Amino acid sequence: MPNVLVLGGTGFVGATLCEKLVQHYGGGSARIVVPSRRPARAKHIQMLPTVELVAADVHDDEQLTRLLRGCDAVVNLVAILHGSDKAFDRVHVQLPRRLAQACAATGVRRVVHVSALGVDAQAPSRYLRSKAAGEAVLAAAGLDLTVLRPSVIFGEGDRFLTLFARLQSIFPVVPLACADARFQPVWVDDVALAIVRCLDDRTTIGETLECCGPEVYTLAQLVRIAGRESGHLRPVIGLPAWLGRLQAALMEMLPGEPLMSRDNLDSMRVASVATGNRPGLARLGIRPASIEAIAPLYLGEGQGPARLDHWRAAVHRR
């Protein structure tokens, strides 16, 4: 499987996936193409041998078709967490539709699509409903499709435990909406490995696999783990629903990507845990790593980006 197109390959999961694909195919004849709207921001991908980072608009049919030509498989990781109905529809539904059409035009059949646990046409959030619609579009397209549905994903560079660790390094308490929401967090390396195994294993065609870690936690427990591992454990104060919504509404008004939106709160009304109705990572021979084993490696004192602090200090960049 030497030619793989990775849509969304510059992101959190994509970067780890690209590394794993390079390792797996051992460089050589493999060609991993990663389109990006802003390739200049994705230097970490460009350094990998056999990875081609290209500037492209994947919402443009002609460009998407050109990207797919000559590929053996495509992985779709493009998604957004916040946005209007229109934005969710464009990224989670129209893009899979365009992808299916471009696959038909180029004869590319193998697609691995990353969705999310809890997707459903009747789900309470726009994120989950639009992701469900995107899955349905691809499933109806007659492709050689495998769908992965992860719970929340942790690992170096995540916007989850890392964010909670950072907040606790700044504020004396954490006022938390949906403190009892449940998750079964999965390590980014395990998700990336699952994608690689799916690409290799044609018996996964037609399957939807759930990607979960070994343990279920509430959001409050996860915030405490992030605080403990980063050395800034603060008290967590669960907010009543109305106050949580007000907090999210205020965050949506701040410039830039919101830390939390009301749609995120709606998503958390569905437990992001294995349903037991679908195969999991064991189906791919993967024993998922626990948060306890991995989080200290990137949240701990002097870990993560802070690893380079003494070098930065030496060149006066701190």
Ligand X SMILES: NC(=O)c1ccc[n+]([C@@H]2O[C@H](COP(=O)([O-])OP(=O)(O)OC[C@H]3O[C@@H](n4cnc5c(N)ncnc54)[C@H](OP(=O)(O)O)[C@@H]3O)[C@@H](O)[C@H]2O)c1
Q: Which residues bind ligand X (CB under 6 A)?
A: 8, 10-14, 36-38, 42, 58, 77-80, 91, 114, 116, 150, 152-153, 160
Beta partners for residue 112, in sequence order = 75, 146
Distance of CA 7 to the CA centre of its chain: 12
Radius of gyration for the alpha carbons in the chain, expressed in angstroms and rounded: 20
Task: Choose between 246 and 271: whose C-beta lies nearer to ligand X.
Answer: 271
Q: Smallest gap, in angstroms, from Cβ of residue 172 to ligand X?
A: 27
Contact 12, 157 (CB under 8 A): yes
| Helices of type H across the chain | 12-25, 43-46, 61-68, 85-88, 95-106, 126-139, 161-170, 188-200, 219-230, 241-253, 262-267, 291-299, 309-314
> Closest approach of Cβ 23 to ligand X, in Å?
18
Q: How far is the CB of 72 from ligand X (least distance, A)?
A: 21
Q: Enumerate the β-bridge partners of residue 175.
A: 237
Residue number with the smallest Cβ distance to ligand X: 11
Nearer to ligand X, 58 or 281 (CB): 58
Shortest Cβ distance from residue 38 to ligand X (Å)?
5
Shortest Cβ distance from residue 129 to ligand X (Å)? 13
Locate 26 and state its tokens: 């051992």
Among residues 58 and 177, whose Cβ is nearest to ligand X? 58
User: Minimum Å distance from CB 273 to ligand X?
Assistant: 12
Nearer CB in complex with ligand X: 95/179? 95
Residue nearer to ligand X on the CB measure, 158 or 301: 158
Is 78:43 a contact under the CB 8 Å cutoff?
no
Considering the complex, state which of residue 13 and residue 123 has its C-beta at the smaller distance from ligand X: 13
| Structural tokens at position 297 | 């490696």
User: Taking Cα atoms as reference points, which of 236, 224, 209, 237 lies closest to residue 292?
Assistant: 224
